[in-house]
Structure 1
Amino acid sequence: MSDANQLFILGTMRWGAWGANLSASAAADLLSQSVSCGLTTFDLADIYGGYTTEALFGQALRLSGIPRERLHLISKCGIVLAGQNSPAAVKNYDLSSQYIHASVMRSLEQLGTDYLDTLLIHRPSPLMDLHEMAETFRELRDFGLVRQFGVSNFDVYAFEQLNRLFPLVTNQVELSLTQPAALFDNTLLQLRTLGLTPQIWSPLGDYLTRADSPTHERIRLVLDRLVRKYDADAAQLLIAWVRHRQSQAQVILGSTNIDRIRAMVQSVAVVLEDSDWYALLEASRGFEVA
């Protein structure tokens, strides 16, 4: 598990009210066990748990006794929820300098730390001012509040333009066998060409939570064969598919079950043959490559 810190990130979206609703002690135990199996990078966001998960994580960190400097903490901002600890009348995006600064300060307070390792803009906004965002990043960096910056769910052009104004370290993108678009819209190609590390969210897609479509049935038929061939479970194969020839990618694991987390980390041992990767792609799309 020595490579887990480089290859995997533990997501926290389901730690709070949006998922398992962990107690502080349960979150501390999960944090400690995750670190013990090599996971030291954690993905957070201001809105997770209806603006409550970062406070939960901060409590867990204090209870765990793990030194802050052992961890790499990522937070995201820019989405404004309506009616959940928020005065907003409608869900919206706010990428203004004032909002980003306020979100960072709130995250630092909730987490009980004086810096974030990485700050990501959660979603692009049609109203965003890239020059203002770049200047905000410079200010947060110069104040020592954030060490590095990236984005999440940005398309190739928006990433390129912001990266020209301020150096970014990642684009956090959705990629799975049931949502493979990032393989074909040049998002991953762009990051690979720039020598940057993609962060992949939802690597399992909805395959394990839904089984009532022709797509899922086609995937199941191929996976059943590959489970036997590679002596791996379905989740491990799905993650291996996402990471295939994406050696720089970090995969975000969303489970709160430590046994499942350990099993998914073991997916690094699964190296798919190209023909099996394409067989799964064909099952997902329902047609062979041209």
Structure 2
Amino acid sequence: MDRISLTPDVTFSRLVYGMWRLGDDKDHGPQHVRAKIDACLDQGITTIDQADIYGGYMAEEILGDALTPSLRAKIEIITKCDIVAPAGRYSNARVKHYDTSRAHILASVDHSLRLMKTDYIDVLLIHRPDPLMDHVETGTALDELVASGKVRAVGVSNFRPWDWTLLQSAMKTPLCTNQIEISLLEYGAFTNGDIAFLQERGVPPMAWSPLGGGSLFFDTKHASLLTALKDVGAAHGTDETAAAIAWLLAHPARILPVLGTNNLDRIARIGDAAKINMDRETWFEIYTHAIGEEVP
């Protein structure tokens, strides 16, 4: 499995296992969670994506119950903060909102460290742009976390370029990634400047929901696209899921897809995407099916 450097000291596996559905599994006991992580490690997938809000603020604890010191040493953990929803430890919140205050960020990190039973987080992301963000306060808090050793690197999620530059302007620590929605059903980032902005700066984007939440495979309006993906997958001894992910991997921006499934057989096949070396014309054939027309 290829690896991508986010900072001189932090590298991720090119494919990332996402745990946003971890709490949805009927069996989320430590042994079963370890089996999922082991299935990832068998393919060279070492990077785990979490967030404080996942599973109604329970997914981090589920992961923490499964971690041993030796297993923690084999993986990188991403987590996120700033979404406050009326659930879990925030059940008394009157309204869903964002909180990028220093106090909230520091408290969230301490919660995450305790729940995941770890001394450090590899990468902390601000989960959503906050309309009330004081960029100096937020940036200073992120710098403080890196300096403390609680967090090795920091980034953002769902930020637009102007959100990024605002926050970065108040920071000493370089932001290392932006996790945004990218897929064959959500391809706007390729043309609206989001990916170009990161690519210009040498910052690898992370792609959440890289399979379009599954609708890519079940909605009949995507039939021609699905057929094209099946053909590409079959030509490389794999399937349409691998082809859809390989389409993202082929982009020079060094996109890191975040894939979440609770099915052990599917987890074991995540790495199949690396088997496909997609050429330019194949990439555009798939893109043409996705947008529903020939490029201009």
- 1:225 counterpart SS class: helix
Q: Determine if the alignment matches structure 1 residue 116 to structure 2 residue 124.
A: no
| Residue 158 (structure 2) aligned to one of 153, 157, 179 | 153
Counterpart of 2:255, as a letter, is A
Q: Name the CA distance, whole Å, in 1 between partners of 2:41 and 2:249.
A: 22
Q: Which moved more, 1:19-28 or 1:265-274?
A: 19-28
Residues of 2 paired with 1:161 and 1:251: CA distance?
26
Match of 2:17 in 1: 10
Structure 1 residue matching 2:63: 3-state secondary structure? helix
What root-mean-square deviation, in Å, do the aligned CA atoms of Structure 1 and Structure 2 show?
A: 2.0
In the alignment, structure 1 segments of 5+ residues that lack a partner are none
Measure, in 2, the Cα distance between the counterparts of 1:230 and 1:206.
Answer: 24
Instruction: Quote the residue 2:79 is aligned against.
Output: 75
- Give the match for residue 256 of structure 1: 262
Matches within 5 A, 1:29-108: 29-62=35-68, 66-86=70-90, 87-108=92-113
Q: Distance in 2 between matches of 1:204 and 1:153?
A: 17
Q: Secondary structure at the match of 1:150?
A: strand
Letter in 2 for 1:173: I
Which TM-score applies when normalising by structure 2? 0.89
1:139-162 Cα shifts (integer Å, max 9, x gaps):
112222111100001011111222
Partner of 1:130 in structure 2? 135
Aligned mates of 1:212, 1:68 — CA distance in 2: 39
Q: Secondary structure at the match of 2:70?
A: coil
1:211 to 209, 218, 221: 218
Q: Say if 1:81 and 1:92, in contact at 8 Å, map to a contact too.
A: yes
Determine if contact 1:178/1:206 at 8 Å carries over to the other structure. no
3-state SS, counterpart of residue 157 of structure 1? helix
Deviations 1:207-264 (A, max 9, x none): 55653342x1231232343344333301000001111123622221212223322322
Question: Is 1:175 the equivalent of 2:148?
Answer: no
- The alpha-carbon deviation at position 191 of structure 1 amounts to 1.5
Q: Matched residues, percent identical? A: 34
Query: Per the alignment, do residues 109 and 228 of structure 1 end up closer, same or farther by CA in structure 2, a change over 3 Å counting?
Result: closer
2:32 is the alignment partner of 1:26: yes
Supply the distance in 2 between the matched residues of 1:148 and 1:223 (Cα, whole angstroms).
Answer: 35
Give the SS at the match of 1:196.
coil
2:231 is matched with which residue: 219, 225, 228?
225
Measured in 1, the distance between the counterparts of 2:237 and 2:254 equals: 25
> 2: distance between equivalents of 1:82 and 1:134?
26
Question: What secondary structure does 1:104 align onto?
Answer: helix
Q: Distance in 1 between matches of 2:86 and 2:163?
A: 26
C-alpha distance 200-20 of structure 1, shift in aligned 2 (>3 A): farther
Query: Secondary structure of 2:95's match?
Result: coil
Aligned residues: 286
CA deviation profile, 1:47-74 (whole Å, cap 9, x unmatched): 1111111111111003xx5343332111
How far apart in 2 are the matches of 1:151 and 1:191?
12
Q: 1:72 to 1:276 in 2, by over 3 A?
A: same
